[in-house]
A and B are shown apart, each in its own frame.
Chain A
Amino acid sequence: MGDRARRLRSARTDPANDAGELMQRVARGDEAAFAQLYDLLIGPVFGLVRRIVRDPAQSEEVVQEVMVELWRSAAKYSPERGSATTWAMTLAHRRAVDRVRSAQAAADRDDVVGRRDANRPFDEVAEQVTTRLEQEQVRRCLNSLTDLQRESVLLAYYGGRTYREVGELLNTPLGTIKTRLRDGLIRLRDCLGVA
């Protein structure tokens, strides 16, 4: 299978592939491996959840839930289905979104702030070099999107919005939003070299 070979190759060159190996040790109950995995993933998990949830105390709760869930369900991770980092980020994003959509907090979130933030994805200067490099690359690739694609993708991902909410915020028909999100991500995928 060409796809599979390609995925395996990309997994080998993935700098975050450490996460995959650690995850397999964690699945066998290795607490030391979990502590390493924590160090590897906590920065992005925390940053992502905080962006979506906003409230510091609730963000911490969600982050803790996510990390414990990684421990609990490590055995369910299969390298065939993608990188361990993506698995963790998908879980973190889902949990953060569940939190804001289930809570009253959803109604309290400030749409104006949400939109402003979405247009300036990384204001803070990251301390870690790896994060800074990642930010540079992602920023460059985000700039290859049209303004409307970028705004839609960022509102959905960092804002934790449904595409229907994005449509309302941007006063744009839903069909257009769907297409923008897909086209924007595809362009981002190609620019970042995600295979």
Chain B
Amino acid sequence: MTSPDIHALTGAYALDAVAGMERADFERHLAECESCAQEVHELRETAARLALAAAEAPPPHLKNQVLDQIRTVRQLPPETTVVPLRRRSLAQRLTTVAAAVFFVAAAGLGVVVVRQNGQLDDAQARAAQLEQILSAPDAELLTLEGSGGEGGSMKVAVSRSQDRMLLVSGDLANAPAGKDYQLWTLANGKPSSRGLVQPADGDVAVEVGDLGDADTVAITVEPDGGSPAPTQDPPAMFKKLPAA
């Protein structure tokens, strides 16, 4: 895509009318183009005026529902939370990567996001969730063994205290024709399928909750559609998880 073309997307983008890879491309462009970012900012303020003009009286019962619900919802910390410098920079770096990845995932371009828990469906919320995992005192960021070659690399952020992990890759090669990647957790050698993993242009973001006593995460190459139990030994990629 040429640069004048991409600049013309500011209006469509401010209206949430750009989807998929094009959206991700434009957001990368925005990060580098200050005048575009300023224009998007102004056009969003403009679009918000259209929202204000559309105001309607809500059903009265909604307020109590919302007020009841917020009492059970923990607030996110501000972005300037004081955390050890190294961990913070790592979290921030990965959050940026993940945000880009999640935009693709959110656009539904073939990335399978395995959701064992949580109903977050936009990229920002997912990036925030990653931040939450990495800000846990026991969070670890590991690279899967067997990854890093031509097939691409796969990292996992895992927190035992939060009982979940997040697998992220920016360069995972597509599974061979007629095959799928399948994700597993193993507890004492007993596998549980966590669904299929399908990279979209290499991007993958998979959240897995309810780790329980799982001690290993593994990705195998299985026949199309996956298998009831892993058929590949050793797995294409795997990693021992930190002890529960």
Interface string of B40-78 (1 = CB under 8 A from A): 011111111111111111110011011101110111111
Q: Which of A45-102 contact B (CB under 8 A)?
A: 45-48, 50-51, 60, 63-64, 67-69, 71-76, 78, 81-83, 85-86, 89-90, 92-95, 97-98, 101-102
Closest CB in chain A relative to B23 CB, distance in Å? 9
**Which residues from B are CB-within-8-Å of A94?**
16, 122
Is B150 an interface position by the 8 A CB rule? no
Asked if A89 and B14 sit within 8 Å, CB to CB, the answer is no
Asked if B49 and A138 sit within 8 Å, CB to CB, the answer is yes
**Which residues from B are CB-within-8-Å of A170?**
none
Given A98-B106, A181-B12; A47-B56 close (CB under 8 Å): yes
**Which residues from A are CB-within-8-Å of B75?**
27, 29, 71-75
Is A148 an interface position by the 8 A CB rule? no
Closest CB in chain A relative to B50 CB, distance in Å? 5
Task: Give the CA-CA distance A44 to B48 in the complex, in Å.
Answer: 9
Task: Give the CA-CA distance A175 to B6 in the complex, in Å.
Answer: 10
Q: What class of interface size applies to chain B in its complex with A?
A: 35 or more
**CB < 8 Å: which of A73, A127, A156, A163 contacts B57?**
A127
Asked if A68 and B53 sit within 8 Å, CB to CB, the answer is no
Q: Which of B155-169 contact A (CB under 8 A)?
A: none
Asked if B45 and A82 sit within 8 Å, CB to CB, the answer is yes
Q: Give the interface centre of B5, B18, B66 by most chain A CB atoms within 10 Å.
A: B66
Majority SS at the chain A contact face: helix
Task: Give the CA-CA distance A160 to B19 in the complex, in Å.
Answer: 11
**Which residues from A are CB-within-8-Å of B5?**
175, 178
Q: What class of interface size applies to chain A in its complex with B?
A: 35 or more
**CB < 8 Å: which of B41, B57, B58, B106 contacts A81?**
B41
Task: Give the CA-CA distance A82 to B44 in the complex, in Å.
Answer: 9
Which 6 A/B pairs are nearest by Cβ-Cβ distance? A182-B11, A47-B56, A43-B55, A181-B11, A75-B78, A46-B58
Interface residues of B, Cβ cutoff 8 Å to A:
5, 8-12, 14-19, 38, 41-59, 62-63, 65-67, 69-71, 73-79, 106, 108, 121-122, 124-125, 128
